[in-house]
Amino acid sequence: MDKIIAYTRVSKSIIELLEQSYDVIYFQNYEQLDDPLFKKELQDAVGIIGLELKVNQKLLQHAPNLKIVSNVSAGYDNLDLDAITKAGILATNTPNVLTDTVADAMVGLMLATSRRIPELHQFVQQGKWKEYLQTEYFGVDMHHKKVGIIGLGGIGEAIAKRCHFGFDMDILYHKRSRDLAVEQKYDARFCSLEDLLKESDFIVLMVPATKETEKMISTEQFKLMKKSAIFINGSRGINVDEEALYKAIIHQEILAAGLDVFDQEPIDMDNPLLHLPNVVTTPHIGAATIENELAMSTLAMKNLTTGLQGKKPPNLLNEKVWDFYEK
């Protein structure tokens, strides 16, 4: 049987299905390149499926038989698409299935941050609730505010939908081009990044990680925000200058932040953002629900097996390789 390497976030039931047709070697951790056993198994592998493994030239030199890489994620900044394409290997991801799940998580961060839920949870647990809550512990409303969404793709639109219909919020958005359908559905307003930062009460960053978006939110951008603004990052940690964010919060240039992603993951416990009560953090759990985990693994398996059968995977990232296959 052909060999497949699976790692980290692949549902057990999907592993069992794959084992019916393939020799599946499972690794718990995704940073395995220094493991002699991983290198050995990689030599014969025709497919790789999992989350966050860095597939680059360094790895590919140990994988002469590899035909496809199936990412269990909508994001694919862990894949060196240039190197993968040059090697004639198919690369796929799992978009769309996680849209609603991630949108739910981002709205949850907005609520948790604005109403100070984690902070007040500790307040109760620590026995500090002795009388009526003093105003110094009050949060701020989310409803009827302005939310600015940077990067209005599928997830951004799902956030806009929840904010517009669920919280009567005004929707501002910034992306490369206008989306008239979104404007009509959610009474959204397309605006420049500068105007969005100046006007929004909540700012939600949902852009992919690229060279152009690296640290796109830094000192200058935080200074444009309202002092009452709440910043949410559900994109990638590299898109935000964390030092600038820390300074913006301690200097009270913005009110608070909710972060699901970080420049270093898992986060360094010495990161000063962890010690601020008005910063709510979650461990990159935007898509992490039981239901969505299975949905992503199922789609990743479909991408993988379709490619190995010589057919075009439904979520192919590098069309150039398929053009070569067809020729």
DSSP per residue over 141-185, as a string? --TT-EEEEES-SHHHHHHHHIIIIIH--EEEEE-SS--HHHHHH
CA distances from 283 to 122, 190, 226, 274, 297 (A): 18, 31, 27, 12, 20
Give the CA radius of gyration of the chain: 22
pLDDT at position 298, please? Answer: 97
Please pick, among 9, 116, 162, 236, the residue that the annotation labels catalytic.
Answer: 236
Within the chain, which residue ranges are assigned CATH 3.40.50.720? 3-95+290-326, 99-281
pLDDT band at 32 (very low <50, low <70, confident <90, very high): low
- Is 265 catalytic? The answer is yes
Task: For 233-269, write each residue's pLDDT tens digit.
Answer: 999 999 999 999 999 999 999 999 999 999 999 999 9
- Is 319 catalytic? The answer is no
- Does residue 31 surpass a pLDDT of 80? no
Please pick, among 31, 194, 220, 265, the residue that the annotation labels catalytic.
Answer: 265
Question: At 310, which amino acid appears?
Answer: G
pLDDT at position 60, please? Answer: 95
Task: For 143-158, write each residue's pLDDT tens digit.
Answer: 999 999 999 999 999 9
pLDDT at position 35, please? Answer: 82
- Is 199 catalytic? The answer is no
On whether the CB atoms of residues 89 and 321 are closer than 8 A, the answer is: yes
Task: For 170-209, write each residue's pLDDT tens digit.
Answer: 999 999 999 999 999 999 999 999 999 999 999 999 999 8
On whether the CB atoms of residues 57 and 272 are closer than 8 A, the answer is: no
Q: What is the model's pTM?
A: 0.89
Mean residue pLDDT of the chain comes to 94
Give the mean model confidence (pLDDT) for residues 63-84.
94
Please pick, among 9, 174, 284, 293, the residue that the annotation labels catalytic.
Answer: 284
CATH of 99-281 given 3.90.1150.10, 3.40.50.720, 3.40.50.300, 3.20.190.10: 3.40.50.720
- Does residue 287 surpass a pLDDT of 70? yes
Q: Rounded distance, CA 311 to CA 76, Å? A: 21
Question: In CATH, what number does 3-95+290-326 get?
Answer: 3.40.50.720
pLDDT at position 325, please? Answer: 65
